[in-house]
């Protein structure tokens, strides 16, 4: 991406410089470069040795289908799998998965309940355990 996009290359250099300070806000927020990298991955824009977006979505969906509907269970995950599962439950277009993931706070929780033979969204992006604004981050 840096080889073909000068704006990305410039921002990447800036992020590298800013990230040397562990307390800098660059560690706690999405930047345009982050979005560009994820967008390129989703679009399959460049060859990569990582899992494709399509394969990733399929793996997350398959894992979620193995979740038993009875009892209580806590699943810990990053934002993107939560966005994928939530998007599917809401029957949203595929691109909404990333929008949902991007709206999640770090350490938030989402509640799903089994109702009428299927999973239903009961709560999304809860953060009552993060009372201080400084603890509420997106990256």
pLDDT tens-digit map of 81-110: 999 999 999 999 988 999 999 899 999 999
Q: For residue 75, is pLDDT > 90? A: no
Res. 6: pLDDT tops 80: yes
Q: Which residue has the higher pLDDT, 139 or 41?
A: 41
Check if the beta carbon of residue 31 is closer than 8 Å to that of residue 15.
yes
Across 16-43, average pLDDT: 90
Residue 139 has pLDDT above 80, yes or no: no
- Mean pLDDT for 8-25 is 94
What per-residue string of b and e applies to 30-50 under the rule 16 or more CB within 10 Å gives b? ebebeebbbebbbeeeeeeee
CB 104 within 8 A of CB 138: yes
Across the chain, what does the average pLDDT equal? 91
Please give the helix or strand (H or E) that residue 103 lies within, else none: helix 96-103
Residue 46 confidence (pLDDT) above 80? yes
- pLDDT band of 137, cuts 50, 70, 90: confident
């Amino acid at each position: 991406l840096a080889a073909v996009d000068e704006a990305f290359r410039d921002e990447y250099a800036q992020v590298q410089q800013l990230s040397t300070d562990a307390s800098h806000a660059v560690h706690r927020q999405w930047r345009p470069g982050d979005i560009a990298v994820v967008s390129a991955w989703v679009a399959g824009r460049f060859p990569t040795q990582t899992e494709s977006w399509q394969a990733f979505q399929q793996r997350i969906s398959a894992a979620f289908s193995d979740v038993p509907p009875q009892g209580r269970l806590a699943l810990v995950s990053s934002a993107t799998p939560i966005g994928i599962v939530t998007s599917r439950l809401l029957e949203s277009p595929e691109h909404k998965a990333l929008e949902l993931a991007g709206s999640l706070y770090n350490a938030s929780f989402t509640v799903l309940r089994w109702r009428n033979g299927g999973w239903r969204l009961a709560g999304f992006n809860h953060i009552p355990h993060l009372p201080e604004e400084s603890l509420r981050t997106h990256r």
